[in-house]
């Protein structure tokens, strides 16, 4: 009887719980790996986005009425990797007088173009431009022939803009990209129109 009771007691006892430190280490290791993987993917995504685009804040009133002070603009760096700058494009570039600054202006003249401002009218290669996007007609005058590998840029707010009419030509390699979208503030969200400027040479 005693042997049977001992056997019954032995069978009734619960199995001893074996601690599993290895499993806990595995869980922590997996968690750390997931965190590192997430950070790495975020860094790759960030670098990838920065490689093809830029975000700039409009500072000042030189592009009124097209762009207003304080608006944030998305800039495509890819456009000019696969295509050429065109007259009428709104571009962001490193200011030739201070490359640490980035400015935003409209391209008026391409290499070889003759740009003329007379009596409030801008002409390119003898053809007067129709410019519904400007704030007011320019109060200055002058003539410029755009050198190779350079651009002639003007602000849409012609009489309140530091641009090619005052500091000269923009080297094309200092162009960051083409402004494509106003994304902030949300109420001002819109795709930026780039008015084509036909001008035969």
What residues are annotated to the active site? 62, 105
The residues that bridge with 57 in the sheet, in sequence order, are 72
Q: How far apart are the first and last CA of the chain?
A: 117
């Amino acid at each position: 009887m005693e042997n049977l009771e001992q056997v019954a007691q032995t069978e009734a006892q619960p199995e001893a719980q074996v601690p599993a430190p290895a499993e806990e280490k595995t869980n922590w290791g997996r968690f750390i790996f997931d965190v590192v993987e997430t950070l790495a993917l975020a860094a790759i995504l960030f670098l990838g986005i920065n490689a093809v685009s830029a975000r700039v804040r409009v500072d000042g009133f030189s592009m009124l009425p097209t762009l207003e002070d304080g608006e944030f603009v998305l800039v495509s760096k890819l456009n000019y990797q696969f295509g050429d700058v065109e007259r009428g494009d709104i571009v962001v570039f490193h200011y030739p007088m201070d490359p640490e600054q980035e400015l935003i202006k409209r391209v008026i003249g391409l290499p070889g173009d003759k740009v003329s401002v007379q009596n409030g009218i801008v002409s390119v290669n003898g053809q007067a431009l129709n410019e519904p996007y400007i704030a007011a007609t320019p109060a200055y005058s002058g003539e410029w022939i755009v050198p190779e590998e350079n651009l002639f840029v003007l602000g849409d707010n012609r009489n309140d803009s530091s641009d090619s009419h005052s500091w000269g030509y923009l080297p094309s390699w200092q162009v960051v990209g083409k402004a494509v979208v106003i994304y902030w503030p949300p109420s001002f969200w819109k795709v930026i129109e780039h008015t084509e400027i036909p001008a035969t040479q």
